[in-house]
Structure formats: C-alpha cells, structure tokens
Copies of this chain bind each other. A is one copy, B any other.
Amino acid sequence: MRLSRFFMPILKETPKEAEIVSHRLMLRAGMVRQQSAGIYTWLPLGKRVLDKVTRIIREEQNRAGAVELLMPTLQSAELWQESGRYDAYGDEMLRIKDRNKRDMLYGPTNEEMITDVFRSYVKSYKDLPLNLYHIQLKFRDERRPRFGTMRSREFLMKDAYSFDLNREGAVDSYNRMFAAYLRTFARLGLRAIPMRADTGPIGGDLSHEFIILADTGESEVFCHKHFLDFDIPADDTDFWDAAAMKAIFDKWTSLYAATSEMHDEAAFNAIDDASKVSARGIEVGHIFYFGTKYSEAMGAKVQGPDGKEHTVHMGSYGIGPTRLVPAIIEASHDENGIIWPASIAPFDAVVINMKSGDEACDAACETIYAALNNAGFDTLYDDKDDRAGTKFATADLIGVPVQIIAGPRSVANGEVELKDRKTGARETLTIEAAINKLTASK
C-alpha cells in the first residue's frame, strides 16, 4: 500500500480525552475515531489490525471444531422474556421499538438466540456435540464508556456456544475451548493466564477468565510464576481427544491464579516467594459452563441414546476483538508508539523513502516495494512528500515490525538500512541483501 493512496490520519497532538496509553496511541496513529460516546469508527490502519486479530480467532475456533454462523444484531424482546433476562438485564440493554411498536433490542450477548436456533433444528444426541460461534457486533449501554475501544458501547465479539447431552460432554467442550483460547492468545503474541472466575449474569458454576499481564491493567491479579513458561498446545493438537484436552486443562489450572475478586490470600501465600507474581492484568477472554440454565427455560432438548428427552448442557465462550486490540497495545508499546506482534501488525514492513522525488531514492524504494509485495509481504510504502523525521516518527508510532529506510547517501552506495521496531537494532545491507533477508523470513 502506498501511503499516498492510503488513509492514515496521524494526529500530532495527544488527544486530551484519552486516559490510557492504548487509547492515546490508537487515536494518534489514526486507528480509530470516536463517533459518539463509546461508539467508534475503525479507520483503515485499525481495521487491518482488527481483521488480523479476528482471522486468528476464527482459525483457532475452526481448528477446535466450532462452526461459524452469523446471528443478527437486533433481537426480539420475546426471546429474552422466555429466559427471564429481559427485565433482569437492566439499563445496559439497548431497548428499541420498531415501526410496528414491537419490542426489540440490540443484542448484548446471544445465549437466548443461539438456544432458539438450536431448539428449532436439533432433535437427536447424534448431532452432538455442537459448538456454534459468530463474530458479530454487540451493544452494551455502559453508564460510562471509556478507555477507547477497551470499554466501548458498540463492540465486536466472538461468542461461541456449545451444546452437549450431559455435563460430562459439556466439560469436554469446555476443555476444547480452553485449549483453543490458549492457542489463540499465544498466536496474538500474548501470554494469557486462565483464572477461575465468577460467572456473573451469564450464570453457571464453572468459568475462567483469560488474563494478560500489563502494567497498565485494570485489575490486580495473582498467580504462580510458572504460568509464564507453560507450553502452548501445538499446531497438531487433536481437539477431539478428550483426554488430551483434559490434560491441558488440568495442567493450566494446577497452580494458583486468581483475580482480586476471587483471590485467596492464604493459598497465594503458600507459594514460595520467588514464584509469586502479583501484577496488573487485563481480561481478554471469558468462558462459561452454565449447564441447563437457558436450555431448561427455553426447552432445548434432544432425544438421548436411551430414547428419552434430555435438556442439553451449554457453555459460552467470548473474546472481544475490539477490546483485544487496545489490550495488546497496553502490553506492547514504548515511548515512541505501538510495537505490534508480527502476527497482527497492520503491515509486515514499511519502506521509508527519506527523500521522495529524488530519482535514486524513488527507484530503490519502488524496487524494494515491488519485491516485498511479490513475496507476499504486506508492505506500506511511505512515498509522501514529508520530512524524513516525520516519516521516522510515524513508522515508530504505527509500530510496523520492520522498517526499510532508503536515504540518498545509502542508496548512492546501493544500500538501505533495516530497523527492527521492537529492539531498535539497525543494520545496513545492499538492497538485494535486504530484500532477501526479509523475504527469507516470511
């Protein structure tokens, strides 16, 4: 992408309304724009990151056997009256009347609707286990939306819902999602630690939050240091091997980990001092097993192998991509801007032309840009007519992993500079060597 044809409005001033670093950086880098309180446009740079995040989430959901569909944003009030949550949900639910004065709402979550989909089609245990997910906008009318897209009103959510014949099957399904989440966050460049959690308004008796550690995190968390080195389930993990899934779950819940809400001081103090981690954390995922709470109320039953009707056991599994993006920034930035993990960077590399209009610089940059694109490198080419200093600052701010810097002096020697955004390490290479080095790393 040529920057001259892209739309990436960099702000020079740090916006005053932004209280946390991710919000400041997302505004400054032209990733998002607030349209109303807690309602954002994802500008092109932000959209690219959001798409890469959702792609990884989707791939791992599919790998774990979940099947994607797409439920609508607007729901009828009747469904929520069936479950009893229509009145219970309170002011966070955005209630709407359509032109025929029918009561609708903008879905804050989808337990009711997916249970309705399920009950209308699935009648036999033979069609279980089933896990259906979607990645869809939701709305929660927070009293005080803040922290940018970390806590917005309209937000994107991946929510999966599992259906099983009994508790045992449901726990297998829970373990599959537990393992999928470990893989998902690892691929996003995050170390997420599952912590036993309260089930809140979703209900149920088994629940984990996945928490990443970040100095600027919203809550205090406590865990054993060994979590930081645990192995992530491998690419060839067999998600249909229930024993393997249970082993992953058991290992990752074998040591102490708790949010302040669930903290047990005595249990934490039993850990040797060198292994105690007390830090700030950000919740990036939340999974629930809630048994028959919705299936009972809404009559979601299947015929079992015994010929009798059984109320299905359900779980739900959420990750918010529009929340993950700022969470990743909170965990990965420096004083100059964002430092993207390679897997979700908006571009793989940026070519910086220090003197656009200079024939030799232009030619070198075009050569590099074309070669990287041909090699499948998603490349931004800063071909604008700005000062070199401005371009360097922009490249650091937007956090693309590799910078290829072409100035008149180096280009005269047939050379360019490569800069690693994260470490700041620089090296000077011939143009050909630079291209080869990058494309070999792909």
Task: Give the dominant DSSP class at A's interface.
Answer: mixed
Asked if A104 and B69 make an inter-chain contact with CB atoms under 8 angstroms apart, the answer reads no
- Determine whether A236 belongs to the interface, using a CB cutoff of 8 Å to chain B: no
Q: Which of A87-122 contact B (CB under 8 A)?
A: 91-92, 94, 96, 98-99, 102, 104, 106, 113, 116-117, 120-122
Asked if A41 and B72 make an inter-chain contact with CB atoms under 8 angstroms apart, the answer reads yes
Q: How many copies of this kind of chain does the complex include?
A: 2
| Residues in chain B near residue A6, CB distance under 8 A | 67
Question: Which of A73-81, A223-231, A396-404 forms part of the interface with chain B?
Answer: A73-81
Q: Which of B44, B67, B69, B73 sits near A137, CB closer than 8 Å?
A: B73
Asked if A98 and B94 make an inter-chain contact with CB atoms under 8 angstroms apart, the answer reads yes
- Determine whether A50 belongs to the interface, using a CB cutoff of 8 Å to chain B: yes
Asked if A7 and B116 make an inter-chain contact with CB atoms under 8 angstroms apart, the answer reads no
Size class of the A contact interface (CB-based, 8 Å):
35 or more
A44-B67, A99-B141 as given contacts; A36 in contact with B74, CB under 8 Å: yes
Q: Which of B30, B44, B76, B99 sits near A35, CB closer than 8 Å?
A: B76
- Determine whether A9 belongs to the interface, using a CB cutoff of 8 Å to chain B: yes
Asked if A42 and B67 make an inter-chain contact with CB atoms under 8 angstroms apart, the answer reads no
Most chain B CB neighbours (cut-off 10 Å) among A72, A116, A120: A72
Q: Which of B44, B72, B116, B141 sits near A154, CB closer than 8 Å?
A: B72
- Determine whether A68 belongs to the interface, using a CB cutoff of 8 Å to chain B: yes
Q: Which of B30, B43, B71, B98 sits near A141, CB closer than 8 Å?
A: B98
Asked if B143 and A99 make an inter-chain contact with CB atoms under 8 angstroms apart, the answer reads yes
| Residues in chain B near residue A72, CB distance under 8 A | 35, 39-41, 137, 154
Docked Cα-Cα span, A46 to B68, in Å, equals: 10
- Determine whether A182 belongs to the interface, using a CB cutoff of 8 Å to chain B: no
Docked Cα-Cα span, A66 to B104, in Å, equals: 35
| Residues in chain B near residue A16, CB distance under 8 A | none
Asked if A74 and B117 make an inter-chain contact with CB atoms under 8 angstroms apart, the answer reads no
Asked if A74 and B7 make an inter-chain contact with CB atoms under 8 angstroms apart, the answer reads no
Docked Cα-Cα span, A139 to B94, in Å, equals: 15
| Residues in chain B near residue A91, CB distance under 8 A | 99
Asked if B139 and A74 make an inter-chain contact with CB atoms under 8 angstroms apart, the answer reads yes
- Determine whether A263 belongs to the interface, using a CB cutoff of 8 Å to chain B: no
- Interchain Cβ contacts under 8 Å between A and B, 6 examples: A35-B76, A36-B104, A41-B117, A74-B139, A94-B96, A98-B153
